[in-house]
Amino acid sequence: MKPRKFGLSSSVDAAPGRSPRQAIPFLLPALVVLAALVLYPLVFSLIRSFFDASGDEFVGLRNYVDTFTDQRTLTAFRNNVIWVVVAPAAVTGIGLVLAVLTERIKWATAFRLVLFMPMAISLFASGIIFRLVYEEEPDQGVVNAALVGVHDLFSPSSAYPKARPRDGYTPTDAGYVATAPSRAGDTIMVPLVGFPPQDVPAQALPASQPTSGNGELRGLVWLDVSVGGKAGKVDPIERGLPGIQLEAVRDGKVVARTTTGDDGRFTFPDLASDEVVVRLPESNFALPFRGLTWLGPSLITPVIISSWIWIMTGFAITFIAAGLSAIPRDALEAARVDGATEWQVFRRVTIPLLSPVLLVVFVTLVINVLKIFELVFVIAPGSVQSEANVLALQMWQVSFGTGGDQGAGSALAVILFLLVAPAMLFNIRRFRRERS
Amino acid sequence: MTLVAEEVRIEVPVSGAPKRGVVSRLVSRLGNGFVQLLLALVALFWLVPVFGLLIASLRDESANTASGWWTVFTKPSELTLDNYADLVANQAVWQSFLNTFYIAVPATVLVVVMASLASYALSWIEFPGRETLTVVVVGLLVMPIQVALIPVAKLFGTFGLFGTITGVVLFHVAFGLPFAIFLLRNFFTGIPRDLIEAARMDGATEWVIFKRVVLPVAKPAIASLTIFQFLWVWNDMLVALVFADQDSAPITVALRAQLRQFGTNIDLLATGAFLSMIVPLAVFLVFQKYFVQGVLAGSTK
């Protein structure tokens, strides 16, 4: 017999492995750490949540009352509800569809590998990735770049955003309307300002005085912004603005349209002799479409959820695919032989057989969602963090960030614990069932 | 799919082996082509964000602010490793990169060792309360770390561990243990009873059985656990945010200060984020099988 290294067993006739004392050295390190850093803190947090910020005064349930009346925390609650309702169901659904589809391709392993990859990197890095994806500036964020590209394909942006006539025109919803009427034979000068000269189209020619006559309404649109030039006068280096649209309005109706040439001159031919009002439509000066403010207060939560979907879908696919491969092929074949369509097989056979797996995936995702922290912390810019707030982040903010109130922080921690408690019971019940 | 059409076709007398109908084959092929295309697009969708970050990390600041990373296809000459050189030369960032190792390696080793020992006792040594203890461990699987942040911060303060790498490591060990024990216990209990009993008959001590019988058999499970735990700790931000100070901060926390000026320092953030991703991506690609198994088992965390 070899000497026993752990000679704690004094009873000679107890078979090895039957002696409880032999378990002690094996269990001790883990138990000490768990007791000191998990179980004791749980109790401590519970007690601490009944004391005020300094920890000296017992305040009963006040921290909890404050928590449920504090606007920031309520926003965090609301967001957590949105997260729980939307995100796990979305990922489970997408995961199910993709898992079923991957059964039909030969490169399923490679596909799953690609989608699983985000699980390997940190939520911090994923946050940076999506901060860049959704960056508002279309020259940096790929989503807005794509949106602008598609938008401009269908409605090209205006040539002179923010430009405006110097004077003599009233801004209206339809555009700039001349304050004075004009008629055929007149010559009107339209000096524009508020536009950078370097952005004038390259084909623009120097502005030149339009010649009057011929019974036509003629005029000039030019950029009246040269240094040292005279306001409202055409100076030598000033250029005409090509491509500006003008409308002649009579009694509220547009009777003629025209567009300036490369030197900025325009002509309304064939106007009757009655007075008209010249109008520069808004479309000349509309601001270009710059995409959406993804990281602003209204879209921030959907944006963060989308990044979470990107991270977790691979997990759902892999988990569900494992469940799919465990479904007996006979059941599927039997249904097919009975004449069921693929959709019916999916609805009536696959999903019911898969439902235990789907439930586990769903519960797992809900737990994950309740603890969401880093993604919100990284993706939401400081100014909208209160809009995107979630409980785990609020707990950190209150206890260690700007708040510094560990009583309220403990209350939030306990609430978070209570929210995952059902999942704890779910796990324990599942564990017990699997053992028996 | 067109199963009915197939059956009809089969009844039509044809020479040779029964074939699938032309229509059926066409639909099936088109359907399959559609699925292939769809999944290819999905995969592309998953890769583009990472690719964008990589390219952004390879362009200098002026290029990143002037135009999107996708313009690199027309201007490949903009690619440069300067950002990485700058980052590595940055003492604080480089130190935080090393700190990430100093935190992740011990936190992984300790968890694997402690959990193997405890799992052995929970699987193969009978003692009163074993069942209860196992259930407690299962319950702790989903414990939110938030419940421990404030108390442990206080505790570490008392023992001078607050703001140290040791403190961060200990916290990770504590919250890594439940899953680690759960995973290994599941594996250990699957070891054939005869193997253990035979060793006991030979008079082997529990320690010897653990070392010579159980550990060699459990290598795959231990590999999964090691990789999962290492990446878990490597990727952490919250624990280090609370317990680490400036000198002991891992890379995620060190880069956090740069977030305020996201638009103007994409070059630095993208490079830092990618630097922090290199290790996990390498581990993932090399040990994907073990990692996927670990994640599937540890998903409840």
Residue-wise pLDDT for A82-134, tens only, equals 999 999 999 999 999 999 999 888 899 899 999 999 999 999 999 999 999 99
| pLDDT greater at residue B264 or residue B107 | B107
Kindly write down the DSSP assignment for every residue of A245-265, as one continuous string: EEEEEETTEEEEEEE--TTSE
Cβ pair B199, B213 in contact under 8 A: yes
Residue A214 — left, alpha, or beta (φ > 0 → left; ψ -120 to 50 → alpha)?
left
Cβ pair B290, B224 in contact under 8 A: yes
Residues 240-279 of B with CB under 8 A from A: 241-242, 252, 255-256, 259-260, 262-263, 266, 269-270, 273-274, 276-277
Q: Dump pLDDT digits (tens) for B61-82.
A: 888 888 888 988 888 888 989 8
Would you state the structure tokens that stand for residue B171, as one six-digit string? Answer: 């916290």
Distance of CA A417 to CAs A91, A154, A412, B146, B246, Å? 24, 51, 9, 8, 30
Neighbours of A191 (CB within 10 A): 20
What would you measure as the largest C-alpha separation in chain A, in angstroms? 126
Residue of A4, A38, A418 to mutate when probing chain B, most B C-beta within 10 A: A38
Quick check: B142 contacting A, CB < 8 Å?
A: yes
CB contact under 8 A, A27 and B118: yes
Q: Dump pLDDT digits (tens) for B14-48.
A: 344 434 456 556 666 667 888 899 999 999 999 99
Which backbone phi and psi does A283 adopt, to 5 degrees?
A: -60, -20
**Strand partners of residue A206:** A239
**Structural domains of chain A, with CATH:** 62-142+294-435 (1.10.3720.10), 164-284 (no CATH)
Quick check: A362 contacting B, CB < 8 Å?
A: no
Handedness of CA B55, B60, B63, B68 (dihedral sign): positive
The closest of A208, A188, A189 to A271, measured between CA atoms, is A188
SS3 A55: coil
Kindly calculate the radius of gyration of chain A based on its CA atoms and give it in whole angstroms: 35
Instruction: Return d(Cα B49, Cα B45) in angstroms, integer.
Output: 8
Would you state the structure tokens that stand for residue A425, as one six-digit string? Answer: 């019971």
A237, with CB counted inside 10 A (0-12, 13-18, 19+), is exposed
| pLDDT greater at residue A290 or residue B234 | B234
- What confidence category does residue B1 fall into, taking pLDDT thresholds of 50, 70 and 90? very low
Amino acid identity of B144? P
CATH class for domain B90-298?
Answer: mainly alpha
Cβ pair A177, A164 in contact under 8 A: no
Residues 20-79 of A with CB under 8 A from B: 20-23, 25-27, 29-31, 33-34, 36-38, 40-42, 44-45, 48
Instruction: Tell me the pairing of strands A277-281 and A175-178.
Output: antiparallel
Which pLDDT does position A3 carry in this prediction? 40
Which pLDDT does position B150 carry in this prediction? 95
Which backbone phi and psi does A120 adopt, to 5 degrees?
A: -85, -25
Count helices and strands (H / E) in chain A: 15, 9
CB contact under 8 A, A370 and B196: no
User: Measured between CA atoms, how close is A264 to chain B, in angstroms?
Assistant: 31
Residue for token digits 């599941």?
B186
Would you state the structure tokens that stand for residue A251, as one six-digit string? Answer: 């009694």
Reported as type and span, the H/E element at residue B254 is: helix B251-256
Which pLDDT does position A254 carry in this prediction? 87
Instruction: Return d(Cα A113, Cα B292) in angstroms, integer.
Output: 9
**Strand partners of residue A190:** A221
Kindly write down the DSSP assignment for every residue of A126-179, as one continuous string: HHHHHHHHT-SSTTT-HHHHHHHHHHHHHSPPPSSTT-EESSSEEE-SSEEEES
Residue of A1, A115, A122, A372 to mutate when probing chain B, most B C-beta within 10 A: A122
Q: Dump pLDDT digits (tens) for A235-275.
A: 888 888 888 889 988 888 888 888 898 888 888 887 777 88
Residue for token digits 């967001």?
A79
CA dihedral in degrees (A399, A39, A427, B181; nearest 10)? Answer: 120
The closest of A308, A306, A345 to A327, measured between CA atoms, is A345
Quick check: A139 contacting B, CB < 8 Å?
A: yes
Instruction: Return d(Cα A330, Cα A192) in angstroms, integer.
Output: 78
Would you state the structure tokens that stand for residue A344, as one six-digit string? Answer: 């019916």
B207, with CB counted inside 10 A (0-12, 13-18, 19+), is middle
Name A409's Cβ contacts closer than 8 Å, sequence gap at least 6. Answer: A395, A398, A399, A400, A403, B149, B150
DSSP at A278: E
Would you state the structure tokens that stand for residue B53, as one six-digit string? Answer: 């970050």
Quick check: A86 contacting B, CB < 8 Å?
A: no
ipTM: 0.86
Count helices and strands (H / E) in chain B: 16, 0
Residues 374-413 of A with CB under 8 A from B: 374, 377-378, 381-382, 392, 395-396, 399-400, 406, 409-410, 412-413
CA dihedral in degrees (A311, A316, A322, A328; nearest 10)? Answer: -160
Which pLDDT does position A10 carry in this prediction? 39
Burial A115-147 (b: 16+ CB within 10 A, else e): bbbbbbbbbbbbbbbbbbbbbbebebbbbbbeb
User: Measured between CA atoms, how close is B295 to chain A, in angstroms?
Assistant: 8
The closest of B273, B299, B301 to B53, measured between CA atoms, is B273
DSSP at A207: -
Quick check: A233 contacting B, CB < 8 Å?
A: no
Cβ pair A268, A214 in contact under 8 A: no
CB contact under 8 A, B146 and A413: yes
Reported as type and span, the H/E element at residue B91 is: helix B91-124
Which pLDDT does position B16 carry in this prediction? 40
For residue A409, give the chain B residue with the closest CA.
B150
Residues 89-118 of B with CB under 8 A from A: 113-115, 117-118
The closest of A235, A274, A280 to A260, measured between CA atoms, is A280
Name A91's Cβ contacts closer than 8 Å, sequence gap at least 6. Answer: A308, A309, A312, A313, A316, A365
Answer whether residue B6 shows pLDDT above 80: no
Which pLDDT does position A343 carry in this prediction? 82
Cβ pair A33, B140 in contact under 8 A: no
Q: Dump pLDDT digits (tens) for B174-194.
A: 999 999 999 999 899 989 999
B288, with CB counted inside 10 A (0-12, 13-18, 19+), is middle
Instruction: Return d(Cα A285, Cα A158) in angstroms, integer.
Output: 6
Which residue intervals of chain B bear CATH 1.10.3720.10?
Answer: 90-298
| pLDDT greater at residue B295 or residue A322 | A322
Neighbours of A351 (CB within 10 A): 13
